[in-house]
Amino acid sequence: MASYALILLQIIVLSSLAATAFSLSPYYYQNICPQALPTIKTLVEAAVYKERRMGASLLRLHFHDCFVNGCDASILLDPSPTIDSEKGALANQNSARGFEVIDEIKKEVDKICGRPVVSCADILAVAARDSVVALGGPSWKVRLGRRDSTTASRTQADIDIPSPLMDLPALINNFRNQGLNQRDLVALSGGHTIGFAQCLTFRGRIYNATNIDPSFAKERRATCPRTGGDTTLAPLDSTAARFDTAYFSSLVKQRGLLTSDQALFSGGSTDNLVNTYRLYPQVFRKDFAQSMIKMGNIKSLTGNEGQIRVNCRMVNY
């Protein structure tokens, strides 16, 4: 009987170890390459100092990566005979940017580590955090140990990356499919407190919407005509280079730039959260950090899954 109990205990312990052996950890590189994270931070800060908009671009890369088959750096893969690059997806084509910054980070990190031990997926996750911090936002302990995918899917990217034209039910469903709830939806949408959007993505709203401040619509129409100027940029909120709560204040004033932004404050179930984040910045910062950690865990490859790419733009062969 004692022997049976001992065997049962061993099975439980081994099962527990198997479940946690390849879980992500903030300390994953502590012994493997302790200089990896400081190197990423330095290079991200330099890139954001050179161009403030880059902070939003790097945050967006991580978001668009995680929503397509998990946080596996699939968004970084260039087209090839075997890769249907996500860079060609509607949400990424001619708008996803910052790839050269990730390339530079990868090169320098591999150099300082002496070999390719830091995955491109982890670089994306850390660069997103460091970008937010560089623009005055909260910090969080990024869980690390992801590995890189060997595939990409432009088709899946077109399905899974939320559209700027989505209404609230569609957004809630889109995030639910990723294991994210309404609080995550509103908190992560708050990432739009930094960055810009192209005229093509908000033209319909500024010319056709009824839930829009007339003076704001007029202001945006000045640089986004009914035809042409598709790539002309407009700030997502009034302080596009600073991570703050101006985004939520703009929604309450019906000055959300994208249809999907204003949908969060349109008489629906997320109105109260928008008001909470507008009035209590510390609550938004805390929730944003927690939701970023949660998003970073989506279908991550660990252990012997995937690979550590030598070049973030192509699969190792």
3-state secondary structure labels for all residues of 100-115: HHHHHHHHHHHHHHCC
Contact 119, 148 (CB under 8 A): yes
Q: What is the pLDDT of residue 22?
A: 61
Tens-place pLDDT, residues 141-195: 999 999 999 999 999 999 999 999 999 999 999 999 999 999 999 999 999 999 9
The region, left, alpha or beta by phi > 0 then psi within -120 to 50, assigned to residue 124 is: alpha
Contact 299, 72 (CB under 8 A): yes
Annotated binding site, which residues? 65, 68, 70, 72, 74, 86, 162, 192-193, 237, 244
Enter the tokens of residue 36: 């990896």
Annotated binding site for Ca(2+), which residues? 65, 68, 70, 72, 74, 86, 193, 237, 244
Annotated binding site for heme b, which residues? 192
Contact 307, 148 (CB under 8 A): yes
Q: What is the pLDDT of residue 221?
A: 97
Q: What is the pLDDT of residue 4?
A: 46
Mean pLDDT of the chain: 93
E strand residue ranges, the chain: 196-198, 233-235
Q: What is the DSSP string of 159-226?
A: HHSPPTT--HHHHHHHHHTTT--HHHHHHHHGGGGS-EEEHHHHHHHHHH-SSS-HHHHHHHHTTS-S
- From 64, 106, 147, 309, the catalytic residue: 64
Q: Report the C-alpha gap between 9 and 191 in whole angstroms.
A: 46
Q: Report the C-alpha gap between 134 and 293 in whole angstroms.
A: 18
Size of the chain, expressed as the number of residues it contains: 317
Tens-place pLDDT, residues 273-298: 999 999 999 999 999 999 999 999 99
- The verdict on whether 62 is a catalytic residue reads no
Q: Report the C-alpha gap between 301 and 125 in whole angstroms.
A: 13
Q: For the chain, how big is the Rg over CA atoms in Å?
A: 21
The distance from CA 19 to its chain's CA centroid, rounded to whole angstroms, is 26
Is residue 153 helix, strand or coil?
strand
Q: Report the C-alpha gap between 300 and 294 in whole angstroms.
A: 11
Per-residue pLDDT of the chain (317 residues; tens, 9 = 90+): 444 444 444 444 344 333 334 689 999 999 999 999 999 999 999 999 999 999 999 999 999 999 999 999 999 999 999 999 999 999 999 899 999 999 999 999 999 999 999 999 999 999 999 999 999 999 999 999 999 999 999 999 999 999 999 999 999 999 999 999 999 999 999 999 999 999 999 999 999 999 999 999 999 999 999 999 999 999 999 999 999 999 999 999 999 999 999 999 999 999 999 999 999 999 999 999 999 999 999 999 999 999 999 999 999 98
Annotated binding site for substrate, which residues? 162
Enter the tokens of residue 140: 């969080």
Q: Report the C-alpha gap between 19 and 13 in whole angstroms.
A: 10
Amino acid at 123: I
Q: Report the C-alpha gap between 151 and 85 in whole angstroms.
A: 9
